[in-house]
Chain A
Amino acid sequence: MKSVFLLEAFSVACFVLLNQVTAKNSEDIRCKCICPPYRDIEGQIYKQNVSLKDCNCLHVVEPMPVDGKDVEAYCLRCECKFEERSSATIKVTIIMYLSILGLLLLYMVYLTLLEPMLKRRLFGHSQLIQSDDDVGQPFANAHNVLSHSHSRPNMLNKVEHAQQRWRRQVQEQRKSVFDRHVVLS
């Protein structure tokens, strides 16, 4: 599955680069000031899109709820933090993740449900009896099918071979993890 690996490596690289290259959305920075309750004023949160140097109580807390002489006391209790995020990174990440998940789901459905049905339709019922494994196993018919394939172009044969070898490996792994409980208890 070299192609899958390359795709993944490519997407990871794109992801890292995109993060650096994306222009910062002006909505992605903010200064957040939290002011606790003061006398009879409720606690408040103030947010504004200001830059780092303007991120203090005087610039952000508007309208100021107290009068001139109390402003300093009020502002001393407030805590202002500058925060930034990258919404583009989040968007790209979620979309990439959902697409990989969707592809895997489709492939899983194909392997477990569609392929046995297709093979059964193409090669008839008699071939299925030959395998020892439980028919419920997803990859049981793979080995038999390979021997019946008529000559195809080399590339497709190679892909088919690689896939069969991978399936056998996964079946081995499944046996040692799920059946014999040798690894990973």
Chain B
Amino acid sequence: MDPAADPYLPYDGGGDTIPLQEIPKRGSNYVMTNGGGAPSTTTHLLDFLEEPIPGVGTYDDFHTIDWVREKCKDRERHRKINSKKKESAWEFTKSLYDAWSGWLVVTLTGLASGALAGLIDIAADWLNDLKEGVCLSAMWFNHEQCCWTSNETTFAERDKCPQWKSWAELILGQAEGPGSYIMNYFMYIYWALSFAFLAVCLVKVFAPYACGSGIPEIKTILSGFIIRGYLGKWTLMIKTVTLVLAVASGLSLGKEGPLVHVACCCGNIFSYLFPKYSKNEAKKREVLSAASAAGVSVAFGAPIGGVLFSLEEVSYYFPLKTLWRSFFAALVAAFVLRSINPFGNSRLVLFYVEYHTPWYLFELIPFILLGVFGGLWGAFFIRANIAWCRRRKSTRFGKYPVLEVILVAAVTAVVAFPNPYTRQNTSELIKELFTDCGPLESSQLCQYRSQMNGSKAFTDNPNRPAGPDVYAPMWQLCLALVFKIIMTIFTFGLKVPSGLFIPSMAIGAIAGRIVGIAVEQLAYYHHDWFVFREWCEVGADCITPGLYAMVGAAACLGGVTPMTVSLVGIVFELTGGPEDIVPLMGRVMTSKWVATKEFTHVTLAREVMRPRRSDPPLAVLTQDDLTVDELQSTINETSYNGFPVIVSKESQRLVGFALRRDITIAIENARRKQEGIMLNSRVYFTQHAPTLPADSPRPLKLRSILDMSPFTVTDHTPMEIVVDIFRKMGLRQCLVTHNGRLLGIITKKDILRHMAQMANLDPESIMFN
């Protein structure tokens, strides 16, 4: 019986019987061939007589990877190594090396991330203080390090020492007075502008991909997208160097997001040393997940928060093995950073504070208010920033990035210098706001307390002048808040490395501190009110404004970036205290609300698939009917990324799926390497060549690039199941069949369009992210 007509025989496209050992391989470069026209039962699984075509199996820039193909390639490699393991000691060592190479990569990534983070921290601190002056005895020390050994520091002025000279002192010779103030102002603006100018020039000339934060693009890359050069060596170097310059120029940006990018660059670069990771895009993304955990770990000093961040935010495909590797990378990075000790107190982050003060039930009201403020600010900031970015994209203003950076830096420097809270480094500001006012603190923020604590016997000193009242710091803080909110909108999106975490935390901390001081004043002056009388005794401080600052910082951070568990984990590790977790978590939960999606009517696959009724028919390839010329014209006329291969136009039965890029590369390669391939050569995807007349040119076999097991669903499959399949398998396309015949195709974009349509079509459905 003719095999083509027998419906019960599996059709292998030629040959009389299928050898039992033959198992079709997905997209692999190994070809089961027996070298001739006669069927044979001696095909071996791993035999290959045709060499793999170079370039097949790689991806174009700005395309998605095929997760299933990469996983299969990895399984194949692993199987090959395991089967050879018992042959010799050398093979056994190779298999051990293969198993442990994953750990080696994450160790190297952690080491590099920690070292680079230490370098960035030290250099940024030094450059930051360079705007104010220099240390004459040792030029490489910043202000704090310069005065480290001096004995001239006093309790009230902890930063004064003779070795540190401000620019006014060096240039004019005098330290105080209006002339020196103006000179300091001028030098501050000069340094800020030159740092910003250098940063944007370096980015523009060497590595344009180094600008921005990096986390959204890394999320995209980790979900399977290819952006060539985004995690390369030049991007790494430029990002490190210009991040320091951008932070030191006083712009309202942070370094957390860029540190994650730096860590992922390290992970990418080290994965190129191991062919297990460099040749397989899916495995590389496991390393990148671990690298992003290391990045957050060094940015915040929170290894567990880093792992949670990587799990929740950045990763698409996160098996359990990656969890251990991420944690290990985060720990190694944190350890290296700690041993470099950039802040001189064995802490990983400048604003680490230990809090063990209790909070009271009535304080939940201002905490919830701060949560609402955080959510509102987040919404306002996102909307304003998107509008500004759109303006930048569409008008001529976006054509001058260097000028834009200089302008923003100039405005920031000019407005920031007079206010002491905006003049200092943002991390130091956050630390000052988090630190509660105790007897050991003498910052300007705490001076009003000397008035309040007049009843305390020990601090009662009739000879000390009354400190400035509470209004001066409150006004300055309010102005700082407004300034930071406005400048962050214009700063985020500039063509320099910029992060959003620190400015958001600063805004939240300022708002929280204002609220905290207000509540504190309320409790002091109205301590006979019911709420305060229950919990606060006269004269005792029951309100800790520093805690409000922390809650505010967490609120704003949660309002602008969609992190929940990882945010709580990071703040938990920053403060080291579980007592404050309850208000934080409660506040984080009030700004998130998750509900499930509901469909009211069932959509089937055939309603979403292409081609629709009005579209031209599906572009397919037949398995042995085409010539090279026809194939090339099909590819050139359409813009599809792949083509299904069918048995023949009459039967429409599915054989497999072939990608455009692979076909193009295979044809090019055949033209160059094989003799006699001409435009009217027959192209066949079958195992054996079709029978051709004697004078026809040599046929071209393209079976090795054919994917023999594409995913198919029937046309009656409900769309929920199709969406589920896409999500869980990471598919790019899925073929739709009816009674075994090819009907259409559903791609990832169709799925996304369908999901968006569901959100609008169905008014009863509730969908939050």
Contact = CB atoms under 8 A, between A and B. Distances in A.
A12 B148 contact: no
Interface string A16-39: 100110000001001000111111
A34 B458 CA distance: 16
A30 B149 contact: yes
Contacts of A77: 439
Contact of B209 (A39, A112, A177): A177
Contacts of B145: 85, 87, 90
B709 interface: no
Interface in B368-401: 389, 392-393, 398, 401
B212 A184 contact: yes
B123 A97 contact: yes
Contacts of A9: 112
A51 interface: no
B151 interface: yes
A174 B204 contact: yes
Contacts, number: 156
A15 B115 contact: yes
B217 interface: yes
Given A12-B115, A16-B336, A84-B344, A30 B241 contact: no
Contacts of A85: 145, 148, 341, 344
B202 interface: yes
Given A43-B442, A47-B151, A184-B211, A15 B119 contact: yes
Given A94-B123, A94-B140, A138-B205, A177 B155 contact: no
Contact of B155 (A39, A44, A97): A44
B208 interface: yes
Query: A interface, by DSSP: helix, strand, loop or mixed?
Result: helix
B229 A173 contact: yes
A133 interface: no
A100 B242 CA distance: 11
A89 B340 contact: yes
Interface stretch (A52-60, A101-109, A121-129, A146-154): A101-109
A1 B234 contact: yes
B493 interface: yes
Interface centre among B158, B205, B241, B461 (most CB of A within 10 A): B205
A45 B148 contact: no
Contact of A183 (B149, B227, B392): B227
A40 B217 contact: no
A32 to B, nearest CB: 9
B208 A174 contact: yes
Interface centre among A34, A84, A104 (most CB of B within 10 A): A104
A35 B156 CA distance: 11
Interface string B445-462: 000000000000011010
Contacts of B155: 34-37, 42-45
B118 interface: yes
Nearest to A138: B205
A184 B229 CA distance: 14
Contacts of A81: 345
B198 interface: yes
A185 interface: yes
A100 B233 contact: no
Interface centre among A95, A173, A181 (most CB of B within 10 A): A173
A113 B50 CA distance: 51
Interface in B191-226: 198, 201-202, 204-209, 211-212, 217
B450 to A, nearest CB: 9
A69 interface: no
Contact of A94 (B116, B122, B458): B122
Given A45-B158, A87-B138, A185 B393 contact: yes
Nearest to B121: A93
Contact of B206 (A12, A101, A104, A184): A104
Contacts of B416: none
B678 interface: no
A83 interface: yes
A93 B112 contact: no
Contacts of B439: 36-37, 77
A40 B340 CA distance: 42
Contacts of B458: 38-39
B115 A34 contact: no
Which 8 pairs, one residue from A and one from B, show the smallest C-beta to C-beta distance? Answer: A43-B155, A36-B439, A94-B140, A177-B208, A85-B344, A184-B212, A97-B123, A5-B233
Given A45-B153, A45-B158, A176-B208, 17 more contacts: A16-B111, A16-B336, A35-B155, A39-B461, A40-B463, A43-B155, A83-B344, A85-B344, A89-B340, A90-B140, A95-B140, A104-B241, A108-B202, A170-B208, A174-B208, A177-B211, A178-B204
30 contacts: A16-B340, A34-B155, A37-B439, A40-B461, A45-B154, A47-B151, A77-B439, A83-B344, A84-B341, A85-B145, A85-B341, A86-B340, A87-B141, A87-B145, A89-B118, A90-B141, A93-B119, A97-B119, A97-B241, A101-B241, A104-B206, A105-B202, A169-B228, A170-B205, A170-B207, A170-B208, A178-B204, A183-B209, A184-B209, A185-B393
Interface of B: 111-112, 115-116, 118-119, 122-123, 126, 138, 140-141, 145, 148-149, 151, 153-156, 158, 198, 201-202, 204-209, 211-212, 217, 227-229, 233-234, 236-238, 241, 244, 269, 336, 339-341, 344-346, 389, 392-393, 398, 401, 439-440, 442, 458-459, 461, 463-464, 493, 495
